[in-house]
Amino acid sequence: MNPLLTSFDTAPFSTIKNEHFMPAFTKAIADARAEIDAIATSIEAPTFKNTISALDYAGQHLDRISSVFFNLNSAETNEEIQKIAQEISPLLSEFGNDITLNEDLFKRVKAVYDQKNDLDLSTEEHTLLDKKYKGFSRNGANLTENKKIRLREIDAALSKLKLKFGENVLAETNKYQLHLTNEADLDGLPDGEKEAAAQLAKAKELEGWLITLDYPSYIPFMKYATNRALRKELSIAFGSKGFNNDALDNQENVLQIANLRHERANLLGYATHAHFVLEERMAETPEKVHDFLNELLEKAKPAAQKEFRQLEDFAKKLDGIDQLEKWDSSFYSEKLKQKLFDLDDEKLKPYFKLENVIAGVFKVAEKLFGLQFEEVFDIDTYHDDVKTYRIYDDNKALVSLFYADFHPRAGKRGGAWMTSYKSQYVENGVNVRPHVSNVCNFTKPTASKPSLLTFNEVTTLFHEFGHGLHGMLADTIYPGLSGTSVYWDFVELPSQVLENWCYEKEALELFATHYETGELIPMELVQKIKNSATFQEGMQTLRQLSFGLLDMSWHGADPSNITNVKEQEEKAFEGTNLYPDTPETCMSTSFSHIFQGGYSSGYYSYKWAEVLDADAFAYFKEKGIFNKEVAAKFKDHVLSKGGTENPMELYKKFRGSEPKIEPLLERAGLL
């Protein structure tokens, strides 16, 4: 019996075997195709209900199987799963094209679209109709037959190239290890980090200590290790992923992806890939994105240059360093931060035991939105690390299921993300509740210490949980507009706004207690966290802007004349460079956000959402960070509404006006 072909509510992880995937996808695609064909060939006159609504509910079983499979490919993958992904991705891409290039189906959608002003549609129905029509028109429905064939070829090629790109990055991350047998090489590392490195070595049956390119191992070494030569080695290994002219090299993949995206945009009548993407964003055009990035660059660059000179002087006085390099950045920044604020992550970590932080983010959600969290042990998971929860509202009604997977392992890609195993929607009067997951890579507990988070990891947990709330509190009719199905430059608002609570005394008092003594975090430490919040904010802003500009350099112009990935990157970084270039490294070849994930032409949206989140949080600060009235407005107009309305309209309903840039500049200390 194939568990994926049964009608399941929670994903049946423990009974799924790799050999189940291909037959399940084959059957689910055939079933979804039959549903689509029934809509396309119906003899009834096209209506909103029998065409637009029916189309949005079609293929749900395929969506469920896809969410299970691709989440496993990110969080618990192996060579076999990766191979299946290479087979399945082109099939799904082909099926997607079969829908958008289906002429009979498009005729019916267009017939409804053409009479939209005469139909009595709700705002949500209007939005769905617009989205479905554009889903066809923006993806080739109006193309000639030979252009449709070329579009299919491009999409199939892109789906494979993006997978290959990601596999190479993961393989590079897993391949490298810094094996140390001399304890002096770990000088500067806190005891907890040394213990974690010893545990990693032991797991690989090695003597001594092991440092890897996984964030919980890599970042502490770069921040604390006094051995500059080893920091350099590790930094170059990290920065050269996919850039070693070997079997895992991504340079050709980058060029092919950029060129195919450009060709696809041209085929559809757009000047560049960025023009195509941004038509469906709050930013609207590449010109607006460039203006936005350059306005912030103008404000941040003087501050960044001043901060960099301060760091250079500090490193020179401390250790006689004449030329600061990239591998010195975290090390001397941490030392300077300790000197200026007497604040060091190692002093903070005992107050941020993972379990306490989880309880804390739950408590914040309870105080804001009236949610209750219950850890449960009867929900199937794909790994022992995964915790599961049922979430209820004040009336004890089920709001959502929540999966939490917090530690790195070999089959898991780096970083942190929110994902969903089941969307929220209303069908036949029943409000189907979502299944949401957060996946992160935090330090594992050791024999002597629980998992203690850096402050940066605390904000990461709050960030991903903010995305989680966007999924959990969804309350829309149609699955295609539910939860995080919003404009890409709006999707980071719920996540980024929640990070603000990490800096507030009222919130920290709920969970920041010492893991051994139970003592509440001292308020002078809280004040130091707040004081240090804008430390090197100019440099941080410059760094984020450089990533946004790199993204636009690949996607906002014709890439066909680019032959050298590294040279293209250097040009993009020209206006934002502080450190000398490292010839052995290249960011593009492991920039998974834009070459594998969904952020192509969208990396600017992190900063865009910061403008929104700073403006939104200013409203909370004005009324009180746990003010029920403001929280209810945020829930009613942002978190629950998904993509049912233009995001700027939703934001104005919450805030009363459009967002202003000043709160961000003020918060960042850039005014």
Let me know how long the chain is.
671
Is the Cα dihedral 595, 596, 600, 606 positive or negative?
negative
Compute CA 646 distance to the chain's CA centroid, rounded to the nearest angstrom. 22
Q: Read off the tokens for 437.
A: 């997951």
Neighbours of 126 (CB within 10 A): 16
464 is catalytic: yes
Query: How far apart are alpha carbons 650 and 648 in whole angstroms?
Result: 5
CB 181 within 8 A of CB 210: no
Compute CA 388 distance to the chain's CA centroid, rounded to the nearest angstrom. 21
Cβ burial, residue 344 (10 Å; 0-12/13-18/19+):
middle
3-state class (DSSP) for residue 12: coil
Amino acid at 179: H
Q: Read off the tokens for 131.
A: 């989205």
Q: Which candidate, 503, 406, 410, 481, places its Cα nearest to that of 450?
A: 406
Any bridge partners for residue 372, and if so which?
Answer: 392
CB 173 within 8 A of CB 213: yes
Long-range contacts of 326-329 (CB under 8 A, 24+ apart): 326/235, 326/239, 326/579, 326/582, 326/585, 327/222, 327/228, 327/231, 327/232, 327/234, 327/235, 327/236, 328/228, 328/231, 329/222, 329/579
Q: Read off the tokens for 142.
A: 């109006």
Q: β-strands 430-432, 435-439: how paired? A: unpaired
Per annotation, catalytic residue among 167, 193, 464, 499 = 464
Task: Give me the active site residues, please.
Answer: 464
